Structure 1
């Protein structure tokens, strides 16, 4: 009987944890003895290296090194190509990282990893959530659930700090590549998400890019062409990140590069850095304002602002938050480990839910999943139930006046999940033989500002008249979307429609990727 773990699959670093038999969280170190693993993959001479060594060697073989792949989850057209022409989807690269973490966990625990809860940014859309679950499947992981990263951090805070009082908390989660702000209400037993906002392409990496742009421009003024030197580019990527970290403790940082065989030095002060990243930081403030507006709250209604994510270590981030809200943000949880710990706690409730499902199967004469049924579930020091919300509105494409297409939201943003909502529509013409539904995410009527995440088609009985149709969209515990259709004229449930998810891998592609990844020699060195 193996263990079930929580995994924070991050843009720049990943972390994993489990709950021991005493109900206490334990962060699982990787094979190199570190609690966090760089989310970096290097393909080298038939080997696949993941983690610190891959990051260190990226300067030597930048074309064979993939970083920040989380930003491309749910992007069907993105593929990473090695210099020998091998191509990998974002799900496959993420699966390589997860495979390394699974193997490291099994080595440390001395037993198999039977399943996992994986975290995702709260502002991930459905395609990105599905891509994350698919990555786990490719890695050979039984993904029993996913949880939003700010909610996981809040869960870790509530349990490890043994919170008893009712309070309203804002979780400010600024990681390496994504940003979420979530407002939650705590009481002694419940965590309720009130609103969430954010940007899936805003994080510490964007601060690095600001430094990179400034250094590249300064070098060009002195006759250095960094953009034509891939090794210098990768060196600058690493040293920009180091300079950012240095400025958290010092007033200035030096970046020294070798460009085309010539040395170049750039000095960055904390004041200059603040000017460079002002626009990026303003983006986080805008999301904070949006979250408060959607929750119907002012900053003065908040009891605490909880910092999560490695980028919140920057004094500039803390200063901007305090200046905006008048509150000193709290660093009560470990910025790199809290999300994984929260995911590990969520494993317990997810297992209980899954065990009930499997028990119902056995009671009905079906074969239940023995791994789930036999899983030992430790009792944590404190229990919370939590309710999360949809991060985007969910709807369908409709035809209005003058045959103009528009987005019709069925399940509004910030609806508590699991949830289901129904809207009434009608066919567009007499004798219509099928319904073609495009499922959307986004709040605007204008289709230019929403994302079509999938399509579904179903046959209907043709009739002389326009027929009334009910469309029900539901969102499960993992924020995965389901669509059902009801024929009002025939009073007939047409069942759940299969959604062809345009941004995700097919089941056949998932299995092909799984076989391919299983043949790789994956290690941390």
Structure 2
């Protein structure tokens, strides 16, 4: 009888949790005895090191060290290349991290990990969600569901500290590499997402980079080029992160480096840091306003602002939120652990649903019946929303290509919407559907997810077609086409996802990663 766990696959740190037999959440420590694992990979000869040790050894092998790969999920052209020329996709690097976590979890639990719920930023697009699921598959994990990070945190909060009194809560989730703000409504049994906004490339990493940019500029005035010394550059990356954390408790701190054999010292005060990061804080405020606008609410309608993500430990973040909203943000959940715990709770719900479906189908031999599902103190159902509009590229009346949204942003999922179109020329023999994410008509401001092509019966006239786009519980997109002239359902179309690995590439990566010697030390 295997275990089902929740995994927070983070940009800078990852962690995992499960629900014990008493219905209580427990963090699963890694093999080093720590609840969080740095999302860092070092390729060291025949071995592949993951976590804290990889980070500490990165100064010796900076060219073989990869971190922050979550920011590249869904980017088809991004490949990490080692010093020896070996290339790894973002999915493969993430799979290496997940494989280490799976192994550590099995050692700690004394049982196999049969499945996992993995979290993603609410503002991840479909390509990034699919990449995350592919990473799990490459690591040998059955990903039974994907859940948005703010929703997972809200689930953890609701079960541990919720009340029967209805509440409207904003979850401010600032992690190492991504930022989400989500407005939700709680009652005694339901969590409903009302609005979401964010930036998939805004997080603690960017706060570090503000320090890095300042150090590089001052060093260059002394005739030192840090970017030409890879060891010094990696040392600066680590020390900028440490300086940021230090300034949460101290008024000033020093960064000392050895750049091409010359010593260098940089002093930064908390006031300097606040000035540096002000533009980043303004970005988060913009997202807060957008999420409230989508929910049709004012800040005064909020009962609580819940902080999630390690970067919310910075006093400047808390001060900014209070100044903007007049509400002192709450730290009632552990910023690093709440998301994994929420994912673990969701794993129980998914398992119950799997057992129910297996029973309805008469499949009483299904392995899911071997799993005992503990009862928790509270149970919630939750309703999430689409974080982006989903549509197709069409030709307008002037013969120009533009985006046509079919499934709008902020619609509760699972969802399905249909739009009516026509073929473009008589005797047309095939339809090329180009699926997009984004709200704008202008193609420069949308992302093309992929294409789907299907043959149709040629006719001498322009004919009407219906395109139906659905978004499932994991926010994965499906497309169906209906021929109105022939009254014929052409079925679900296979989307060739331009930003994702093919099925064959996933299999090849799975074989490759399974042969690596992966460890944390």
1:217-238 CA-to-partner distances (Å, cap 9, x unmatched) read: 1111112221110000000000
Alignment of 1:229-268 (within 5 A): 229-268=229-268
> In the alignment, does 2:129 pair up with 1:129?
yes
C-alpha distance in structure 2 between counterparts of 1:53 and 1:347, whole Å: 30
**Other structure's SS at 2:496 match:** coil
Q: Which residue of 2 aligns with 1:49?
A: 49
1:28-61 CA-to-partner distances (Å, cap 9, x unmatched) read: 0000000000000000011000000000111111
C-alpha distance in structure 2 between counterparts of 1:234 and 1:492, whole Å: 59
Structure 1: 5+ residue stretches without partners = none
Judge conservation of contact 1:399–1:406 (CA < 8 Å) in 2: yes
| TM-score between both structures, scaled by the size of structure 2 | 0.99
1:388-434 CA-to-partner distances (Å, cap 9, x unmatched) read: 00000000001112211110100000100001001111111111111
Judge conservation of contact 1:359–1:373 (CA < 8 Å) in 2: no
C-alpha distance in structure 2 between counterparts of 1:17 and 1:272, whole Å: 38
Alignment of 1:22-421 (within 5 A): 22-361=22-361, 363=362, 370-421=366-417
Query: Cα offset for 1:369?
Result: 7.4
1:58-84 CA-to-partner distances (Å, cap 9, x unmatched) read: 111110000000000000000000001
C-alpha distance in structure 1 between counterparts of 2:75 and 2:173, whole Å: 23
Q: Which residue of 2 aligns with 1:450?
A: 446
Structure 2: 5+ residue stretches without partners = none
Query: Cα offset for 1:375?
Result: 2.0
Query: Cα offset for 1:354?
Result: 2.0
C-alpha distance in structure 2 between counterparts of 1:84 and 1:356, whole Å: 50
Q: Which residue of 1 aligns with 2:510?
A: 514
C-alpha distance in structure 1 between counterparts of 2:364 and 2:173, whole Å: 38
**Other structure's SS at 1:31 match:** coil
C-alpha distance in structure 1 between counterparts of 2:38 and 2:358, whole Å: 36
Query: Cα offset for 1:371?
Result: 2.7
Judge conservation of contact 1:184–1:192 (CA < 8 Å) in 2: yes
Select between 344-353 and 67-76 the one with higher mean Cα deviation.
Answer: 344-353
Judge conservation of contact 1:5–1:18 (CA < 8 Å) in 2: yes
Q: Which residue of 2 aligns with 1:423?
A: 419
Structure 1 residue aligned with 2:475, among 467, 475, 479?
Answer: 479
Judge conservation of contact 1:182–1:193 (CA < 8 Å) in 2: yes
The RMSD of aligned alpha carbons is: 0.9
1:119-166 CA-to-partner distances (Å, cap 9, x unmatched) read: 000000000000000000000000000000000000000001133210
Judge conservation of contact 1:170–1:184 (CA < 8 Å) in 2: yes
C-alpha distance in structure 1 between counterparts of 2:163 and 2:208, whole Å: 36
**Other structure's SS at 1:146 match:** strand
Query: Cα offset for 1:372?
Result: 2.3
Select between 216-225 and 419-428 the one with higher mean Cα deviation.
Answer: 216-225
C-alpha distance in structure 2 between counterparts of 1:98 and 1:31, whole Å: 13
1:168-223 CA-to-partner distances (Å, cap 9, x unmatched) read: 00000000000000000000000000011000000000000000000011111112
Structure 2 residue aligned with 1:463, among 459, 482, 485?
Answer: 459
Judge conservation of contact 1:114–1:371 (CA < 8 Å) in 2: no
Judge conservation of contact 1:4–1:18 (CA < 8 Å) in 2: yes
C-alpha distance in structure 2 between counterparts of 1:115 and 1:134, whole Å: 14
C-alpha distance in structure 2 between counterparts of 1:224 and 1:116, whole Å: 48
Query: Cα offset for 1:368?
Result: 7.3
1:226-269 CA-to-partner distances (Å, cap 9, x unmatched) read: 11100000000000000000000010011011111111110000
Structure 2 residue aligned with 1:495, among 479, 491, 494?
Answer: 491
**Other structure's SS at 1:287 match:** helix
Structure 2 residue aligned with 1:440, among 423, 436, 457?
Answer: 436
**Other structure's SS at 1:402 match:** coil
Q: 1:369 to 1:505 in 2, by over 3 A?
A: farther
C-alpha distance in structure 1 between counterparts of 2:353 and 2:400, whole Å: 44
Q: 1:219 to 1:368 in 2, by over 3 A?
A: farther
| TM-score between both structures, scaled by the size of structure 1 | 0.98
**Other structure's SS at 1:346 match:** helix
**Other structure's SS at 1:466 match:** coil
**Other structure's SS at 1:231 match:** helix
Query: Cα offset for 1:355?
Result: 2.1
C-alpha distance in structure 2 between counterparts of 1:445 and 1:356, whole Å: 42
C-alpha distance in structure 1 between counterparts of 2:377 and 2:293, whole Å: 34
